[in-house]
């Protein structure tokens, strides 16, 4: 599944594009919208976006500036500039940016669909090529048994809380073939599979292909289905300062943003379902014990539900129910409740999935299998029922009801309502107030 972010300061254009891409079936899309470049920049700071469709000229921040932010945060992000300004300077600056296409708003929908397909085809091919390159680069010989035993002993002691500061321990990571520095900030990520991980080297290759450019990492095998990964930003020094803290925060976002893609690739290439649990923060490598205990506590909570594909931040984690993680009917109930409570806001798969710690791609399949309907269908049903109730029982204006049911454009709300009921909102309301 790819994440598509649509940005325009005209709600009608946003809703029209949302409707257009709701019928797109070449690739599975999670569509997110923003009514300003500033709002889109906030989304880009916390969500990995694969394709950005944006107007060029908007308010205080232009689409060109937004493209620079997207490229800096997510280097593989594809960008399509969609604008009414047929100006050479805009075109020249736009087409000279990385992974960019350009078209005018006056062109037909089929042109945009072809452009989106071409961009996602390129992205898909680039991911495959990156995998091939990484596999070619990382054909490694089996590590000697003695080195493996030394590595296991070192990390066992480290995670058990045995702390030493002598020169032998400080130099140990290098002696066991690890690039990690003992005093630099480290984030742990635990991966849990539903079956034996006999293909750890291939999982390592997949992680390296997405995160190896900016992060050093090593791993420790906890048991046959559980692995602990340790990440350090390449550019950090060992001193604690504000710059390091900001880089660590950004590094965690990059790790978290790529985990869904790593999960999907492991499923597609290796047929392995992986759940990931992130530590709460970066700490020095030699002080991982408390973070490890925190991650293990979350792992124990979800151990009976490892058949679900989840991404959990241990620092934000709260049990959904007392005791074990809930089974299917409780998860569906929580999803439905979240949708009803947030029906007036943007309801992307990514946002809903975060409420139950699911991989967004997996959430869609899980909901369909459990309920027999698409999650988008359920959202539409909830919006329709709430709209009917408000029309029949309140004097709220149509545009107010539109906002309360998650539509930024009253005209799009009217079109949705009429298509669903055969009546316009006004006609539906009038049917409850006929003169006696």
The 10s digit of each residue's pLDDT in 236-281 is: 665 567 778 888 888 999 998 899 899 999 988 999 889 899 999 9
* DSSP calls for 269-297: II---EEEEE-SS-EEGGG-HHHHHHHHH
pLDDT at position 234 is: 84
| 258, 187 contact by CB (below 8 A) | no
pLDDT at position 298 is: 83
pLDDT at 225 over 90: no
Compute CA 312 distance to the chain's CA centroid, rounded to the nearest angstrom.
12
Name the pLDDT band for 231 (thresholds 50, 70, 90).
very high
**Which of 236-240, 318-322, 403-407 has the weakest average pLDDT?**
318-322
327-436 — its CATH code? 1.10.10.60
- Could you tell me what percent of the chain has a pLDDT over 70? 83
pLDDT at position 323 is: 43
DSSP annotation of 399 reads H
* Mean pLDDT, all residues of the chain: 83
The pTM is what?
A: 0.59
Name the pLDDT band for 52 (thresholds 50, 70, 90).
very high
| Gap between the Cα atoms of 321 and 327, Å rounded | 10
The candidate with the shortest Cα–Cα distance to 158, out of 243, 222, 107, 71, is 222
| 173, 157 contact by CB (below 8 A) | no
pLDDT at position 307 is: 58
pLDDT at position 415 is: 92
The candidate with the shortest Cα–Cα distance to 278, out of 191, 358, 160, is 191
- Contacts with 171 (C-beta within 8 Å, 6 or more apart), sequence order: none
Q: How is the chain split into domains, by residue range?
A: 2-137, 145-313, 327-436
Q: Tokens standing for 226?
A: 């559980």
CATH architecture of 2-137: 3-Layer(aba) Sandwich (3.40)
């Amino acid at each position: 599944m790819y994440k598509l972010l649509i940005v325009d300061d005209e709600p009608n254009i946003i809703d029209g594009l949302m409707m257009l891409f709701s019928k797109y079936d070449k690739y599975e899309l999670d569509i997110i919208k923003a009514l300003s470049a500033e709002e889109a920049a906030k989304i880009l700071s916390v969500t990995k976006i694969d394709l950005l469709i944006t107007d060029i000229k908007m308010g205080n921040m232009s689409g060109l500036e937004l493209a620079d932010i997207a490229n800096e945060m997510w280097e593989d992000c594809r960008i399509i500039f969609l604008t009414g300004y047929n100006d050479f300077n805009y075109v020249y600056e736009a087409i000279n940016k990385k992974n960019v296409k350009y078209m005018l708003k006056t062109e037909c929908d089929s042109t945009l669909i072809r452009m989106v397909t071409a961009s996602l085809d390129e992205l898909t091919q680039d991911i495959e090529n990156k995998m091939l390159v990484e596999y070619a680069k990382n054909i490694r010989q089996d590590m000697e048994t003695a080195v493996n035993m030394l590595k296991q002993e070192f990390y066992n002691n480290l995670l058990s809380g045995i702390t030493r500061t002598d020169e032998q321990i400080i130099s140990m990571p290098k002696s066991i073939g690890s690039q990690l520095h003992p005093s630099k900030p480290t984030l742990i990520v635990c991966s849990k599979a539903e079956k034996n991980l006999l293909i750890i080297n291939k999982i390592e290759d997949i992680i390296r292909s997405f995160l190896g450019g900016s992060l050093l990492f090593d791993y420790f095998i906890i048991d046959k289905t559980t692995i602990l990964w340790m990440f350090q930003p390449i550019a950090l020094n060992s001193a604690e300062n504000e710059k390091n803290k900001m880089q660590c925060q950004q590094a965690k976002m990059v790790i978290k943003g790529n985990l869904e893609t790593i999960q999907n690739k492991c499923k597609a290439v290796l047929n392995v379902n992986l759940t990931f649990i992130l530590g709460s923060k970066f700490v020095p490598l030699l002080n991982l014990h408390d973070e490890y205990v925190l991650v293990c506590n979350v792992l124990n909570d979800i151990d009976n539900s490892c058949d679900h594909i989840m991404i959990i931040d241990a620092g934000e984690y709260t049990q959904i129910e007392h005791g074990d993680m809930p089974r299917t009917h409780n998860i569906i109930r929580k999803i439905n409740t979240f949708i009803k409570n947030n029906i007036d806001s943007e309801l992307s798969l990514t946002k809903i999935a975060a409420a139950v710690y699911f991989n967004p791609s997996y959430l869609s399949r899980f909901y369909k299998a459990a309920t027999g309907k698409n999650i988008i269908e359920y959202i539409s049903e909830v919006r329709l029922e709430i709209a009917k109730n408000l029309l029949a029982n309140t004097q709220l204006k149509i545009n107010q009801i539109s906002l309360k049911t998650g539509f930024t454009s009253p005209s799009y709300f009217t079109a949705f309502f009429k298509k669903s009921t055969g009546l316009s909102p006004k006609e539906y309301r009038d049917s409850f107030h006929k003169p006696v």
